[in-house]
Amino acid sequence: MSAAGPILEVEAIQAFYGTIQALKGVTLQVNQGEIVTLIGANGAGKSTTLRTINGLMHPKAGKIRFEGQDITTTPPHQIVAMGISQSPEGRKLFPRMSVTENLEMGAFQRKDKENFKDDTERVFEYFPRLYERRTQKAGTMSGGEQQMCAIGRALMARPKLLMLDEPSMGLAPVFIEKIFEIVVQINKDGTPVLLVEQNALMALDVANRGYVLETGRVALEGPAAELKVNDRVRKTYLGEG
C-alpha cells in the first residue's frame, strides 16, 4: 500500500436501529497521514458511523475496509487489535480508577506489555497535565482533563487509526483549543485521525478533508479549506446567514 493510500474505506453503508434507518448509504475514506472530519447536526448519524466502523454495530448493507481488509462484520475486540482505537463521546472513563490505571485499561489487549511504560510516558508528553494528575481518580478531574485521559487511553492501544467522537463536547474554549492542538500533533507524529464533531469551525480548521452528514447521508464533502468557505456550510454549521 502506498504511503498516501486509503487506510479506511467506508462504502455505501446502511445501518438501522430496529426499523429506524440511521445511515442511508454513507461513503467516506481516510487516507494515510490525514485528519478527516465528519461534521453534522445532532442526530445526523455521526456516532452511528463510528459505531459501524468500530464493530459495535454492523451495517445492513455496504462495506468497510481497513488496510484493504474487509471488517464489515468483524467483532469490536478484533477491530481494536487490528489497530482502530476510539475515544468515545462522553469519555467513558473508569471514574474510581486513577489516571494511570485508566491508561493501563487502554493497553489491555496488547501482548507487548513491556512497552507499557514507554507508551504511558508518550501519553504524558502529549498531556503533561495528566502526568501531574496521574494518581488522581479520573472521576474527580475536570471535563477537559477527562477528555485528555480518554484520548490518552485510546493512544495506549497504539492505533493505526484514531477515532474521536466529539472531543470538544462540554469543554471550555481554552481546553478545546488545547485538545485540538494535541490531535494535530498526534497526527503529525504519524497517526491518521477520523474526527467527529458538532463544532464544525474548529474541526475544519484542523482537518485535511471533511464530510458533512445530513440525516444519514453525506450531503457535502471536500478539502476542509473549501468546506469552510462553502455557503451552505457557513449558513448551517457556522451560524452565519
Minimal distance in Å, beta carbon 180 to ligand ATP?
18
Minimal distance in Å, beta carbon 182 to ligand ATP?
22
Identify the residue among 32, 37, 47, 52 touching ligand ATP (CB under 6 A): 47
Stretch that binds ligand ATP, among 15-23, 58-66, 96-104, 116-124 (CB under 6 A): 15-23
Give the sign of the dihedral formed by CA 90, CA 150, CA 22, CA 224.
Answer: positive
With binding defined as CB under 6 A, does residue 90 bind ligand ATP?
no
- Edge to edge, the sheet with strand 20-31 lists 20-31, 6-17, 61-66, 69-70
Closer residue to ligand ATP (CB): 52 or 85: 52
Question: Which of the residues 153 through 212 are near ligand ATP (CB under 6 A)?
Answer: 198
Closer residue to ligand ATP (CB): 50 or 123: 50
With binding defined as CB under 6 A, does residue 42 bind ligand ATP?
yes
Identify the residue among 1, 2, 3, 17 touching ligand ATP (CB under 6 A): 17
Pick from 219, 226, 231, 201: which is nearest to 28 by CA? 219
Stretch that binds ligand ATP, among 36-44, 60-68, 80-88, 231-239 (CB under 6 A): 36-44
In degrees, rounded to 5, the angle at the alpha carbon of residue 26 between the alpha carbons of residues 200 and 42 is: 40
With binding defined as CB under 6 A, does residue 43 bind ligand ATP?
yes
Minimal distance in Å, beta carbon 195 to ligand ATP?
13
Closer residue to ligand ATP (CB): 56 or 97: 56
Closer residue to ligand ATP (CB): 40 or 59: 40
Minimal distance in Å, beta carbon 166 to ligand ATP?
6
How would you class 229 by CB atoms within 10 Å of its CB: exposed for 0-12, middle for 13-18, buried for 19 or more?
exposed
Q: How many residues bind ligand ATP (CB under 6 A)?
A: 12
Residues contacting 110, CB < 8 A, separation 6+: 156, 157, 158
Interface residues with ligand ATP (CB under 6 A) are: 17, 20, 22, 40, 42-48, 198
